[in-house]
Amino acid sequence: MSSTNTVSVTATTNGMSSSSRFEKSKRSMMDELRSFEKEDFFDLGHPLLNRILHSFIKAAGIGAIQAVSREAYFTSVEGLGIDSSGTDANGAKQHKFPDLRGATNRKSVEALVKNTGKESFQWGLAAGVYSGLTYGLKEARGYHDWKNSAVAGALTGMTLALTSDDTTHEQIVQSAITGAAIATAANMLTGIF
């Protein structure tokens, strides 16, 4: 006498039915960006530190994408023989990353990585400083207004100017004024758009 046992197996993928998997695959780019805003990748134990780190990471990624895509554009334009870059006083072509035209591909790749890292650090630094200052000023003053944005923008502009090569005091002041103006305008236009 033999008995046959039948085992029924139901397969699910992370608790999702096929229709909910389909819905997830139909998410738009804006849905992905909104979910990115809600996720906490790191928790440093304090809201100020978390805000600075998250702003730094997001902006550094954008800076890296911008630097690589700009270099890809210049490389493709030069390959086609189109003159899209400016010239200096001697009539020589100016290039954002002059070291990328090395004798070997290895030098070019090393220069690309170095310059992309520097630029992504600058973007991340600017975002982290601005975000941290606006949060700190909001906590210190009890509310957020255009004055917080102006002070944070000025200090961020000064910090960013100090990361460039051969910085003069005129460049620092000019960057502080520009940072304050952009941050104030962005704060005032937030409610309009």
Question: Residue 176 has what pLDDT?
Answer: 95
What pLDDT, on a 0 to 100 scale, did the predictor assign at position 10?
Answer: 47
For 98-111, what is each residue's pLDDT tens digit? 555 544 566 677 88
CA distance 180 to 174: 10
CA distances to 39, 42, 47, 149 from 136, rounded to whole Å, are 22, 19, 10, 11
Whether the CB-CB separation of 179 and 158 falls below 8 Å is answered with yes
Residue 17 tokens, joined:
């039915």
What integer pLDDT is reported at residue 13 of this predicted model? 46
**Nearest of 19, 109, 128 to residue 68 by alpha carbon:** 109
- Most confident by average pLDDT, 21-25, 27-31, 115-119: 115-119
The label of the residue with tokens 């134990």 reads: 45
pLDDT in tens, 84-134: 555 555 555 555 555 555 445 666 778 888 889 999 999 999 999 999 999
